[in-house]
Structure 1
Amino acid sequence: MAASLWLSGGGERLLRLLRAGRSALGAGLSLPARAGWRHLHGTRDLLGTPGIKIFMPALSPTMEEGNIVKWLKKEGDTVSVGDVLCEIETDKAVVAMESSDEGILAKILVEEGSKNVRLGSLIGLLVEEGQDWKQVEIPADAGAPSPVAPPAPAPAAPSVSAPPKLQHQPGKLQVRLSPAARNILETHGLDPSNVTPTGPRGIFTKEDALKLLQEKQKGKPSELKPVVSPAPAAVPSPSPATAMPSYPRPAIPAVSTPGQPAALGTFTEIPASNIRRVIAKRLTESKTTIPHAYAAADCAIDAVLKLRKELAKDDIKVSVNDFIIKATAVTLKQMPDVNVTWDGEACRRLQSIDISIAVATDRGLITPIIKDAAAKGIQEIAASAKALAKKARDGKLLPEEYQGGSFSISNLGMFGISGFTAVINPPQACILAVGRARPELRIVEDEEGNEKLEQHQLMTVTLSSDGRVVDDELASKFLETLKANIENPMRLALN
């Protein structure tokens, strides 16, 4: 019993109890065994069971915070090494978080649905098998809100016609407000002191303000009135010689009210997901730091369509995009100087040809990777592309399935787009934009040298390249070789 109490964290208390017991026995006193057991057992309950901490992990190289989508284990469940504890939305996808310890899930400190949980935040506690998980000791800093800012002196009373300002009232804690939340509260005269903030570090967010506004609307719809713009302060009239024309100050558009018709000039703000914020950051970085160069070519895909039809007779289903992936990979093998990345100071030629394919999802664009595409056949590429696209749309991609890549392909042909330019995905040096197939008439010569018109299916491909590592001449040669490989698909079997 003493050893188990020592291991449970009550060692020092136990030692003092044992010493006290020896002193009592030495003085001729006796301790009933059952009473002594109850005393020691109560000491253990008072101390609590120490837990194994579960922290928010880094599930991608660029991840800074994550959203807890769903807990797959509940408090009291037994957990083994490798069991999935919860699903976390990173800046790339929804990733399953596996346990690296075994025991019992004693406490969930961050509930599912929580957003913007910083890396390293404590999200749960495990205890070892045999310990009382209900008596787990909660760390003092777990879930503790940021300290509230000290009360500030009350500002001067506002003008009667001005919107009500949030002022400090005696007996109420001052709430830390985001700028958007402050605008909503002041516009509609709402009091945030009775609402628990949900933002990081105890900040009252815009979502909290909109929720408070919606609750007030449901309870007292008649109290919501339009806010009158503040009257301008009286100023001395200038002389006619120096008088300047005055213009009314434009009103700031108010946030739209849920459940109410949108007023003129209002807007609805859509919260950005982690993936959307990272996409915005990386696109901005790409367009501002990479010197994009563009080159386009029209490829005839009649031979590809004919071969695809022949394969379908043998129940081999492949798409035109699968042929483009294979042709691009073969071209990169033939021209390794294009299969490069830029690390900020030098060009790196990659040994493996890994093609990133752009897939549109509800959470934004993500680029799963077909590894070593040059060594794969058309049918294998088709199966890989289909499986990766489904996992991307379901949010089930593993980090190794979307991190890396040496060359990207974005195909908007299925949306009826004839041609477009794509943004390079750093640190890659190139991305190929693929348009739809379209019929066009071409003048061709027959075997006797006579000219005639023939209809061909043409497809425009546009290469966006990093001018620091792929110059115009190299980009032109790449497109020339790619065009030859697409128009003669039998050549793809030779590589």
Structure 2
Amino acid sequence: MEKGNLQRWFKKEGDSVSSGDVIAEIETDKAVVELESLDDGVLHTIVVPDNSKDVPVGSIIALLKEEGDDDQDVLKLLNNASDTKNSPSAEVSKESQNISLEKDTALDHQVSINNSERIKISPLAKKLSEINKVSLNGMVGSGPGGRIVKSDVLSQIDKVPNNTIAHSHQDISSSTVSPMRMAIASRLTESKTTIPHFYLSVDCSVDDLVKYKKQIKEQSQKNITINDFVVKAVAMSVAQYPDVNSYWQKDQIIKNSQVDVAVAVAIEDGLITPIVKNCDSKTITAVSAEIKSLAEKAKNKSLKPEEFQGGSVTVSNLGMYGIKEFFAIINPPQSAIISVGAAYKIPCFNENDHIVPKQIMNISLSCDHRVVDGVLASMFLQSIKNYLENPMLIVI
């Protein structure tokens, strides 16, 4: 994660804050998390306001004034944070040295516009303009001496319309990309361009699995899905072939100590892969219940980082959309991802050479060839097939 969105503040400037208090809500590329204060003090200055987009990780979003600090301590901190490698030096005017930063006029910051004109701007206003990509060219400041202050930048942000581009005979509108979509784009581009993928595919006969699933529902009222059986079969196969449970890292192969299966869940504006930990040692009913719980949390954006980071392998299922076969992109740092297609009927010859209907389901495997070779991948895929065609082995 490189950027995030600051959705809202739960505290306002001047409020007392205790260690552990929830002070803000941050949207990461995977979930919405609460930001807790690490110290006691007073929330002196909010640098990044509500609904700020694409705030870089490591940015100062607020200043907490602790006991013993004075306004000059806070002023110095914000001054140092505002200076960048290529920015001009900041100068503090004598008449404003004792003014609180809360008024946004404590510091005159000289900013170069078009390498010719220089304007005065407070550090807070400058920080807001950088984060929100607001041009200072031609902006008239309302502060003392014509300096640009926080309210001037916020007013300009409100005036910026959604970008539209005239193209041919129609208007094509552009939209802001969410942190999750940016993370997906970055990770999958990295995966596809740096990991040597290779692919295998096998058809599984699932007549017995469909019958067994139906029996469970009739006898126990528990809705165990085909995907639940696939996840459990994958976990048992990973345990059977532990070399699959590894990943490439800086010319080394790192082996995972437990079998954690990630399950792809489609949510608004993206995809997330919550993890069923120690999946090989759990019953099929426990696996099913955990997948449902994680999927619900994923859709509510309430997953904790440890619930979606890492994992041994990933299972991605598009069978519910009628897709018969596809090959997914590996989810780094994992070395394999299983793609599950739809179950459908085909005519087949039985042992007596009679044509009978049979339900089959395609299982595809994408592997990192640096870690998993063809023979190992083939045996791993055959193991999954064997469990799915003999579902009683999964519940023993």
TM-score over 0.5 for the alignment? yes
Match of 1:377 in 2: 283
Match of 2:253 in 1: 347
Q: Is the 8 A contact 1:77 1:105 kept in 2?
A: yes
Aligned CA-pair RMSD = 3.7
Match of 1:488 in 2: 390
Closer, same or farther: CA 123–332 of 1 in aligned 2, 3 Å: same
Partner SS for 2:346: strand
Q: How far apart, in 1, do the equivalents of 2:46 and 2:158 lie?
A: 28
Whether 1:256 and 2:256 are equivalent positions in the alignment is no
Give unpaired runs (5+ residues) of structure 1: 1-62, 154-167, 186-190, 197-201, 215-253
Match of 1:475 in 2: 377
Partner SS for 1:148: strand
Q: How far apart, in 2, do the equivalents of 1:71 and 1:416 lie?
A: 44
Closer, same or farther: CA 76–194 of 1 in aligned 2, 3 Å: closer
Which AA in structure 2 matches 1:400? E
Whether 1:269 and 2:174 are equivalent positions in the alignment is yes
Provide Cα deviations, 1:350-391, integer angstroms capped at 9, x if missing partner: 220011111122232221111110011111111211121122
Match of 2:217 in 1: 312
Which AA in structure 1 matches 2:5? N
Count of matched residue pairs: 351
* Equivalent position to 1:391, from 268, 276, 297: 297
Match of 2:48 in 1: 110
Q: Is the 8 A contact 2:112 2:119 kept in 1?
A: no
Match of 1:65 in 2: 3
Closer, same or farther: CA 109–339 of 1 in aligned 2, 3 Å: same
Q: How far apart, in 1, do the equivalents of 2:158 and 2:23 lie?
A: 32
Closer, same or farther: CA 171–367 of 1 in aligned 2, 3 Å: closer
Q: Is the 8 A contact 1:465 1:475 kept in 2?
A: yes
Match of 1:298 in 2: 203
Q: Is the 8 A contact 2:284 2:395 kept in 1?
A: no
Identity %: 42
Q: How far apart, in 2, do the equivalents of 1:91 and 1:97 lie?
A: 15
Match of 2:358 in 1: 456
Partner SS for 2:173: coil
Whether 1:413 and 2:351 are equivalent positions in the alignment is no
Q: Is the 8 A contact 1:79 1:103 kept in 2?
A: yes
Give unpaired runs (5+ residues) of structure 2: 88-109, 142-149
Q: Is the 8 A contact 1:80 1:102 kept in 2?
A: yes
- Greater RCO (CA < 8 Å, at least 6 residues apart): 2
Q: Is the 8 A contact 1:127 1:136 kept in 2?
A: no
Q: Is the 8 A contact 2:65 2:74 kept in 1?
A: no
Closer, same or farther: CA 428–442 of 1 in aligned 2, 3 Å: same
Q: How far apart, in 1, do the equivalents of 2:26 and 2:176 lie?
A: 18
Q: How far apart, in 2, do the equivalents of 1:299 and 1:353 lie?
A: 23
Provide Cα deviations, 1:430-452, integer angstroms capped at 9, x if missing partner: 0001111111222112xxxx332
Q: Is the 8 A contact 2:111 2:120 kept in 1?
A: no
Closer, same or farther: CA 70–210 of 1 in aligned 2, 3 Å: closer
Provide Cα deviations, 1:52-81, integer angstroms capped at 9, x if missing partner: xxxxxxxxxxx2332101223344555443
- So what's the TM-score if we normalise by structure 1? 0.63
Q: How far apart, in 2, do the equivalents of 1:195 and 1:414 lie?
A: 57
* Equivalent position to 1:433, from 322, 339, 349: 339
Q: How far apart, in 2, do the equivalents of 1:466 and 1:104 lie?
A: 51
Provide Cα deviations, 1:378-428, integer angstroms capped at 9, x if missing partner: 111112111211222222221111111110111111122111010011221
Match of 1:87 in 2: 25
Provide Cα deviations, 1:159-184, integer angstroms capped at 9, x if missing partner: xxxxxxxxx7x9999x9x99xx99xx
Which AA in structure 2 matches 1:463? L
* Equivalent position to 1:283, from 165, 171, 188: 188
Q: How far apart, in 2, do the equivalents of 1:490 and 1:136 lie?
A: 72
Q: How far apart, in 1, do the equivalents of 2:15 and 2:120 lie?
A: 41
More strand by share: 2
- What is the Cα deviation at residue 124 of structure 1? 2.2
Q: Is the 8 A contact 1:107 1:136 kept in 2?
A: no
Q: Is the 8 A contact 2:245 2:259 kept in 1?
A: yes
Provide Cα deviations, 1:275-334, integer angstroms capped at 9, x if missing partner: 222211211111111111100011122222222222212121221111100000001111
Provide Cα deviations, 1:217-250, integer angstroms capped at 9, x if missing partner: xxxxxxxxxxxxxxxxxxxxxxxxxxxxxxxxxx
